[in-house]
């Protein structure tokens, strides 16, 4: 059996009967759980709580939404202007989540959650629409297979399940590890595609502290149990960086492993990251200063910021470092003292900006002024 079939079978069982060995203890927000049906709370196969990253008004996409728990929690946080989309490939899980949709819409005061059948590594493909099409156009030979591929390409292009640049926040709870290794890079590219510029990611998942050996990966019971398909911890961050995300971090990292197998620790983490905005890199003369305490830091675009130095950055990077919230108050931003015609490229990495160029410009992220 391949890993996808094993995962489908395991989570069909999980939708029908609680599977204790798939449950990883999670400290969810009790207030958000109060509204949820007990069956959905019981059939929880998550390992973290990405709902805590949801903001009012967000369009949220939950990858591998299972019984719908995180979607229904997120729906309480997005408010009347936001909405939540759950995607899962498993019919039994989709049936469980949908069973409570009208009850939850009543409790929420609006139907702001939708569940779609799809593969999270191929978020443009509408699997329910494809199944309808296949009922009338069964694949029986090479020609009909080619016809299907043609239909899929057109559907992805003309009527994508999840459109480009359409989501504010992608969340997921214990699912990425279940995706076949051959599709993991494509999965992360898909997350990047569907996010709006400036959109955020919060992925709770299991990681391993060293590379999982082939004989464990070949064990479909361990794979479908959210263990042997886990990313190695550093590779998990690197994969998001490679796909173009910025500010990639472990926002949460459980010190106690969930499982230890052949000495390898498997633990729950939550990865956060941001999709950069697509505005051009224009140099108006801005600078940022890294406060410390480290001697220097490097961001995901390979800018190096020595502690205490006014470093030249384009306006886009200036906003990201000082306004996006990703870096807290690590950077102080200096707008140019005298705005100048923008130059359409970044100053070479390592370029400093003199105090005279930035003095008396607007300061972002400074502390309160003090007069003695």
Interacting residue ranges for ligand SAM, rule: CB under 6 A:
7, 11, 44-46, 64-67, 69-70, 88-90, 93, 119-121, 173-175, 178-179, 226
Shortest gap between Cβ of 268 and ligand SAM (angstroms)? 11
| Closest residue to ligand SAM using C-beta atoms | 66
- Distance in angstroms (rounded) separating the CA atoms of residues 105 and 84: 12
Indicate the helix (H) or strand (E) that contains 214. Answer: helix 214-217
Residue 67 vs 336, nearer CB to ligand SAM = 67
Residues 6+ apart with CB under 8 A from 105: 111, 112, 113
Shortest gap between Cβ of 134 and ligand SAM (angstroms)? 18
From the list 35, 28, 37, the residue with the least C-alpha distance to 76 is 35
From the list 87, 127, 89, the residue with the least C-alpha distance to 11 is 89
Shortest gap between Cβ of 35 and ligand SAM (angstroms)? 16
Task: Give the end-to-end CA distance of the chain in Å, rounded to a whole number.
Answer: 74
Q: Which tokens in the block code for residue 261? A: 């197998």
Residue 120 vs 264, nearer CB to ligand SAM = 120
Residue 37 vs 64, nearer CB to ligand SAM = 64
Residue 69 vs 353, nearer CB to ligand SAM = 69
Indicate the helix (H) or strand (E) that contains 313. Answer: strand 310-313
Residue 173 vs 358, nearer CB to ligand SAM = 173
Residue 77 vs 246, nearer CB to ligand SAM = 77
Shortest gap between Cβ of 207 and ligand SAM (angstroms)? 15
Indicate the helix (H) or strand (E) that contains 116. Answer: strand 113-117
Q: Are 120 and 186 in contact (CB under 8 A)?
A: no
Shortest gap between Cβ of 249 and ligand SAM (angstroms)? 21
Shortest gap between Cβ of 61 and ligand SAM (angstroms)? 12
């Amino acid at each position: 059996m391949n890993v996808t079939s094993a995962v489908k079978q395991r989570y069909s069982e999980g939708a029908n009967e609680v599977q204790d060995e798939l449950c990883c203890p999670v400290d969810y927000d009790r207030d958000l759980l109060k509204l949820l049906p007990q069956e959905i709370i019981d059939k929880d196969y998550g390992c973290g709580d990405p709902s805590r990253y949801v903001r009012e008004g967000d369009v949220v996409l939950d990858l591998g939404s299972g019984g719908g728990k995180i979607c229904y929690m997120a729906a309480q946080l997005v408010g009347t202007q936001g909405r939540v989309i759950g995607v899962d490939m498993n019919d039994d899980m989709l049936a469980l989540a949908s069973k409570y949709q009208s009850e939850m819409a009543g409790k929420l005061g609006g139907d702001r959650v939708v569940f779609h059948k799809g593969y999270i590594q191929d978020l443009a493909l509408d699997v329910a629409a494809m199944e309808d099409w296949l009922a009338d156009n069964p694949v029986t030979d090479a020609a009909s297979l080619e016809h299907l591929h043609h239909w899929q390409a057109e559907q992805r292009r003309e009527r994508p399940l999840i459109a480009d640049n359409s989501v504010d926040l992608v969340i997921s709870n214990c699912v990425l590890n279940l995706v076949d290794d051959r599709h993991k890079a494509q999965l992360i590219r898909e997350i990047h595609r569907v996010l709006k510029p400036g959109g955020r990611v919060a992925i709770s998942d299991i990681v391993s502290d060293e590379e999982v050996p082939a004989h464990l990966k070949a064990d479909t019971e361990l794979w479908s149990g959210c263990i042997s398909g886990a990313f190695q911890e550093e590779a998990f961050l690197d994969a998001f960086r490679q796909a173009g995300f910025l500010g990639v971090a472990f926002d949460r990292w459980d010190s106690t492993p969930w499982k230890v197998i052949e000495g390898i620790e498997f633990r729950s983490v939550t990865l956060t990251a941001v999709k950069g905005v697509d505005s051009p890199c224009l140099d108006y003369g801005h600078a940022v200063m890294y406060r410390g305490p480290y001697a220097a830091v490097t961001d995901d675009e390979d800018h190096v910021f020595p502690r205490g130095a006014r470093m030249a950055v384009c306006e886009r990077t200036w906003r990201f470092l000082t306004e996006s919230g990703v870096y807290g108050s690590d950077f102080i931003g200096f707008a140019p003292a005298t705005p100048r015609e923008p130059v359409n490229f970044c100053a070479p990495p390592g370029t400093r900006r003199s105090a005279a160029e930035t003095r008396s410009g607007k300061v972002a992220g400074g502390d309160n002024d003090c007069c003695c």
